[in-house]
């Protein structure tokens, strides 16, 4: 069985959908941000603050290389993981890449309650979300399967992924 790699912007539901998929398929979840935090013993916010985004991206690429060596797991990535071709290639090696999408307004709603996303700690997060989404769109579109999450439950999204991934095994 191939890995299922979840990509997509912050707040598109990668973490909850990964859990739902794990429950339905009996597969293990590996969360890239959690692995980054474990290996550095720092929070994502601290890494950004102390070392900056470029260093975070290097660590992220290293962790993606490691976790994509697994087989038959669900991998939940951070929203910027799809921006490097090297990461995409690693994700595709043993797996199918699924990108979750949502509107800027939904993303704002889902991310506004917590402050653990350094890129959205700005005065006008909605504007920031729109800018980042516009820049990132062509990268997210490299995924094998793209799923709109608007007005769907995590269960519905997980079921849609299971159905659409059939062609990739």
Per CB under 6 A, residues contacting ligand S3P are: 10, 14, 33, 44, 78-80, 117-119
Q: Which single residue is written with the structure tokens 């159905």?
A: 163
**Nearest approach, Cβ of 17 to ligand S3P (angstroms)?**
11
Looking at beta carbons only, is 102 or 161 nearer to ligand S3P?
102
Name the residue whose CB lies closest to ligand S3P: 78
Render 12-64 in DSSP notation, one character per residue: SSHHHHHHHHHHHHT-EEEEHHHHHHHHHTS-HHHHHHHH-HHHHHHHHHHHH
- DSSP-derived 3-state class of residue 151: coil
Looking at beta carbons only, is 26 or 124 nearer to ligand S3P?
124
**Nearest approach, Cβ of 14 to ligand S3P (angstroms)?**
6
**Nearest approach, Cβ of 118 to ligand S3P (angstroms)?**
5
Looking at beta carbons only, is 97 or 166 nearer to ligand S3P?
97
Residues 166, 28 contacting (CB under 8 angstroms): no
**Nearest approach, Cβ of 166 to ligand S3P (angstroms)?**
26
List of residues 6+ apart from 145 with CB closer than 8 A: 96, 97, 98, 99, 161, 164, 165, 168
**Nearest approach, Cβ of 167 to ligand S3P (angstroms)?**
26
Looking at beta carbons only, is 116 or 163 nearer to ligand S3P?
116
Looking at beta carbons only, is 118 or 125 nearer to ligand S3P?
118
Question: Which bin fits 11, alpha (ψ -120 to 50), beta or left (φ > 0)?
Answer: left
């Amino acid at each position: 069985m191939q890995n299922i790699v979840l990509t997509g912007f912050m707040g598109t539901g990668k973490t909850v959908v990964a859990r739902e998929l794990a429950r339905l398929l009996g597969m293990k979840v590996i969360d890239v941000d959690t692995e980054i935090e474990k290996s550095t013993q720092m929070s994502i916010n601290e890494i950004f603050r102390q070392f900056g985004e470029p260093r975070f991206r290097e660590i992220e690429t290293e962790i993606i290389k490691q976790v994509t060596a697994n087989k038959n797991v669900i991998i939940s990535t951070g929203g910027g993981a799809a921006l490097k071709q090297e990461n995409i290639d690693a994700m595709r090696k043993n797996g199918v890449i699924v990108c979750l999408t949502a509107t800027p307004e939904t993303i704002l709603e889902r991310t506004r309650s917590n402050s653990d996303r350094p890129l959205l700690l700005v005065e006008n997060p909605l504007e920031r979300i729109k800018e980042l989404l516009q820049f990132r769109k062509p990268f997210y579109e490299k995924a094998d399967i793209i799923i709109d999450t608007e007005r769907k439950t995590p269960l519905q999204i997980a079921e849609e992924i299971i159905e659409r991934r059939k062609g990739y095994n």
